[in-house]
């Protein structure tokens, strides 16, 4: 198939798109509902991120495999059905076999369905690509989403509660308990940051930071191109 | 949108194909969910029983009973419907009971598991679930604050009924800074639980032997 040859050269492009250039949150401004709801702590962010990655990889793979038989007219209900089924199965499986983790994340897993980024990637990428690139795109988009979740969670947790990765051992096992850091002992807490308004504020600062960085990178690249051109001439 | 890799044969444009496709996916999804539910149901029920037992063991001291708490539950008919009461037995004598009681919190119901000794004193209270504001109302969780331990040993006569309230309402229980509604709801839930115990005391503490002998 021609698409395979075309996409095999684009692995690094997919990775870059997912993590930075076309990041679910920072560039597409999608998935804000689950993002703001869970990022009170870095641990919760990481948990939702990991669960989202699983669903995004599986949905990318399935949608791509089935793209030959799904017609454009009914694609949206079929995609929604696939994603909702996957999320429910992940929810049931975690409840049965990773129960302690489910107690921490149980509330958030149904939120994955509200993550329009998954439907967005199914629609704009997975339904037009071969299975492997589609799954890889799901993975990288998921990783990008997870990075933002953890970053936002860490900022809000540090400012709001003075800790970092609280309860991480519940999520990742006792061996990673060292991740739990108390940054400011006897901190009275700054409630605003833990509540949704703090989420919006921190999110705005993060977005501004990315724009600033992108602009600076673009300026540097333009400068480099200009000097290269000058040297060439 | 169009799929670029597959040319659209004519039958794919038919309504029948679309309907069959959607129906087929719905069928497969349903089948997967049924299988998933069957495969996990027992494991989930077992995990939930373990959770309940862990909560029960926090409100009924282990030294008080020699039975399996989950096995010796009885159902009490109340005005709000059936209430499951877990009984702590030493031999056949009831030494304590535990049941769930609910108070209206700031953002939703607060479910409290309440353990009461046969003498009518609180053995322990633990919040099972709540939706209170993180950082303010969640001090009712024992993992975050020892506030809820203050109920231990209290009974309906001690403090007297009118002092079963938060300090702001002239009662004996302190609220925490910034949150009054949440502790008020918990105090009310515990008080209601004690009143319910008092109202059904004879049924609840009736020796287990009577119920065994009533069976032919």
Percent with pLDDT over 70 in chain B: 90
Closest-CA residue of chain A to B3:
A128
Asked if the C-beta of B47 comes within 8 angstroms of chain A's C-beta atoms, the answer is yes
pLDDT value at A58 more than 50: yes
Binned at pLDDT 50, 70 and 90, residue B1 comes out as very low
Q: Which helix (H) or strand (E) holds B190?
A: helix B181-199
Residue B214 has pLDDT above 50, yes or no: no
| A175 has pLDDT over 90 | no
Supply the pLDDT for residue B212: 47
User: How far, in Å, CA of A138 to CA of A129, rounded?
Assistant: 12
| B3 close to A (CB below 8 A) | yes
Query: A176 or B30, which is more confident?
Result: B30
pLDDT at B60 over 50: yes
In this predicted structure, what is the pLDDT of residue A232? 57
The whole-number pLDDT of residue B216 equals 41
Distance from CA of A78 to the nearest CA of B (A): 7
Q: Which two tokens stand for residue B80?
A: 């709000």
Q: Does any domain span residue B1?
A: no
Q: Could you tell me which residues come within 8 angstroms of residue B23 by beta carbon, excluding any fewer than 6 positions away?
A: none
Q: How far apart are CA B188 and CA A32, in angstroms?
A: 37
**How would DSSP label each residue in A148-201?**
HHHHHHHHHHHHHHSEESTTHHHHH-GGGGGG-EESSTT----HHHHSHHHHHH
Q: Does residue A163 carry a pLDDT above 90?
A: no
Closest by Cα among A186, A180, A156, A155 to A167: A180
Cα B29 off chain centre by:
32
- Angle between helix A131-161 and A116-124 (nearest 10): 160
| Surface-to-core class of residue B51, CB atoms within 10 Å of its CB (0-12 exposed, 13-18 middle, 19+ buried) | middle
Lowest mean pLDDT among A28-37, A202-211, B106-115: A28-37
Question: Cα-Cα-Cα-Cα dihedral of A194, A196, A198, A200, to 10°?
Answer: 150
Given an 8 Å threshold on Cβ–Cβ distance, is A75 in contact with B1? yes
pLDDT of residue B209: 59
Strand partners, B127: B112
The answer on pLDDT for B28 being more than 60 is yes
Whether residues B209 and B117 fall in one domain: yes
Alpha-carbon distances, residue A78 vs A55, A83, A154 (angstroms)? 15, 9, 36
Least confident of A42-46, A207-211, B4-8: B4-8
Confidence at residue B108, expressed as pLDDT on a 0 to 100 scale: 86
One domain, residues B84 and B185: yes
- By DSSP bridging, strand B109-117 and strand B122-129 are antiparallel
Residues 6+ apart with CB under 8 A from B186: B103, B110, B112, B125, B127, B140, B148
Check residue B67 and report its DSSP letter: S
B104 within a domain of the structure (yes/no): yes
> In B, which residues are within 8 Å of A103 by CB distance?
51
Distance CA A140, CA A20 (A): 10
Question: Average of pLDDT values for A71-78?
Answer: 89
The verdict on residue B202 lying in a domain is: yes
Q: How far is B16 from chain A, CA to nearest CA, in Å? A: 12
Specify whether B119 is located in the same domain as B85.
yes
Domain residues for the domain of B173 are 60-214
Q: Do A96 and B44 touch (CB under 8 A)?
A: yes
**C-beta atoms of A72 and B3 within 8 A:** yes
Q: At residue B118, does pLDDT exceed 60?
A: yes
CA nearest to A151, candidates A57, A56, A20 = A20
- Do B141 and B175 reside in the same domain of the chain? yes
Residue B162 lies in a domain: yes
Residues B86 and B126 in one domain: yes
**Angstrom distance (rounded) from CA B102 to CA B128:** 10
pTM of the shown model:
0.74
- Closest in A73, A85, A191 to B29, CB measured: A85
pLDDT of residue B208: 67
For residues B107 and B169, membership in a common domain is answered with: yes
Q: In this structure, are B163 and B191 located in the same domain?
A: yes
Rounded CA gap, A106 and A208, in Å?
32
Q: Which residues, numbered 172 to 231 in chain A, qualify as contacts with chain B under a Cβ-Cβ cut-off of 8 Å?
A: 189, 191, 194-195
Mean per-residue pLDDT, B57-62: 88
Task: State what percent of residues in chain A have pLDDT above 90.
Answer: 28
Same domain for B122 and B149, yes or no, is yes
On whether both B133 and B210 belong to a single domain, the answer is: yes
pLDDT at B153 over 80: yes
Q: What tokens appear for B46 in the block?
A: 């077992």
Does some domain include residue B180?
yes
Q: Which of A50-59, A104-113, B94-103, B173-182 has the lowest mean pLDDT?
A: A104-113
Q: Is B203 exposed, middle or buried (0-12, 13-18, 19+ CB in 10 A)?
A: exposed
**pLDDT, position B3:** 45
Query: Exposed, middle or buried by CB within 10 Å (0-12, 13-18, 19+), for B162?
Result: exposed
User: What confidence score (pLDDT) does residue B211 get?
Assistant: 52
Question: Do B32 and B70 belong to one domain?
Answer: no
Query: How far, in Å, are A74, A116, A119, B2, B5 from residue A123 at the CA level?
Result: 12, 10, 6, 10, 15
Locate the DSSP E strands across B57-208. 73-78, 81-90, 93-104, 109-117, 122-129
Per-residue pLDDT, B7: 53
| Residue ranges in chain A assigned as alpha helix (H) | 2-8, 11-16, 32-38, 42-65, 75-97, 99-105, 116-124, 131-161, 168-172, 191-194, 196-232
A96 vs B3: CB contact, 8 Å cut-off?
no
B135 in contact with A, Cβ within 8 Å: yes
My answer on whether B71 and B102 are in the same domain is: yes
A-B C-beta contacts closer than 8 Å? 85
List pLDDT tens digits, range A101-147.
Answer: 787 777 778 878 878 888 888 888 888 889 999 999 999 999 999 99
Q: Residue B116 — left, alpha, or beta (φ > 0 → left; ψ -120 to 50 → alpha)?
A: beta
Are residues B171 and B73 located together in one domain of the fold? yes
What's the total number of domains in chain B? 2
Between CA B10 and CA B17, with CA B15 as vertex, the angle to 5 degrees is 65
Q: What is the ipTM of this complex?
A: 0.74
Quote the mean pLDDT of chain A: 84
In a domain, B55, yes or no: no
What are the chain B neighbours of A73 within 8 Å (beta carbons)? 18
Residue among A67, A92, A127 minimizing CB distance to B36: A92
Asked whether residue B69 is domain-assigned, the answer is: yes
Does B170 lie at the interface with A, CB-CB under 8 angstroms? no
| First-to-last C-alpha distance (Å) of chain B | 72
Least confident of A153-157, A172-176, B180-184: A172-176
Task: Report pLDDT digits (tens) over B120-135.
Answer: 899 999 998 888 876 6
Count the Cβ atoms, other than its own, within 10 Å of residue A185: 7
Query: Per the domain annotation, does B84 fall within a domain?
Result: yes
């Amino acid at each position: 198939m021609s698409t395979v040859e075309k996409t095999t050269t684009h692995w690094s492009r997919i990775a870059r798109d997912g993590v930075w250039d076309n990041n679910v949150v920072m560039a597409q401004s999608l998935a804000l509902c689950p993002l703001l709801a869970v990022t009170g702590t870095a641990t919760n962010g990481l948990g939702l991120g990991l669960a989202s990655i699983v669903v995004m990889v599986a949905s990318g793979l399935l949608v791509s495999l089935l793209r030959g038989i799904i017609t454009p007219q009914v694609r949206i209900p079929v995609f929604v059905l696939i994603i909702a089924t996957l999320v429910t199965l992940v929810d049931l499986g975690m409840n049965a076999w990773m129960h302690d983790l489910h107690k921490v994340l149980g509330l958030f897993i149904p939120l994955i369905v509200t993550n329009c980024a998954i439907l967005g990637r199914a629609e704009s990428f997975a339904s037009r690509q071969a299975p492997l690139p589609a799954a890889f795109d799901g993975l990288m988009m998921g990783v990008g989403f997870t990075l933002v979740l953890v970053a936002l969670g860490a900022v809000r947790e540090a400012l709001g509660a003075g800790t970092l990765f609280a309860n991480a051992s519940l999520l990742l096992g006792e061996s990673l308990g060292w991740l739990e850091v108390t940054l400011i002992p006897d901190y009275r807490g700054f409630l605003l940051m833990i509540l949704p308004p703090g989420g919006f504020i921190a999110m705005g600062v993060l977005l501004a930071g990315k724009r600033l960085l992108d602009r600076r990178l673009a300026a540097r690249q333009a400068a480099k191109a200009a000097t290269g051109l000058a040297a060439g001439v | 949108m169009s799929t670029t890799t597959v040319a659209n044969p004519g039958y794919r444009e038919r309504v029948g194909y679309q309907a069959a496709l959607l129906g087929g996916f719905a069928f497969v999804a349903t089948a997967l969910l049924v299988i998933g539910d069957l495969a996990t149901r027992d494991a989930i029920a077992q995990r939930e029983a373990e959770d309940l037992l862990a909560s029960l063991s926090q409100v009924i001291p282990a030294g008080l009973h020699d039975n399996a708490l989950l096995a010796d539950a009885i159902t009490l008919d109340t005005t709000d419907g059936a209430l499951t009461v877990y009984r702590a037995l030493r031999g056949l004598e009831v030494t304590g009971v535990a049941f769930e009681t609910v108070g209206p919190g700031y953002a939703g119901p607060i479910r409290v598991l309440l353990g009461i000794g046969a003498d009518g004193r609180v053995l322990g209270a633990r919040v099972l679930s709540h939706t209170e504001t993180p950082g303010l109302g969640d001090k009712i969780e024992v993992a975050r604050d020892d506030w809820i331990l203050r109920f231990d040993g209290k009974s309906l006569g001690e403090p007297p009924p009118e002092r079963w309230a938060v300090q702001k309402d002239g009662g004996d229980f302190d609220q925490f800074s910034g949150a009054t509604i949440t502790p008020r709801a918990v105090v009310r839930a515990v008080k209601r639980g004690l009143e319910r115990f008092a109202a059904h005391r004879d049924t609840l503490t009736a020796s287990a032997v009577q119920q065994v002998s009533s069976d032919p």
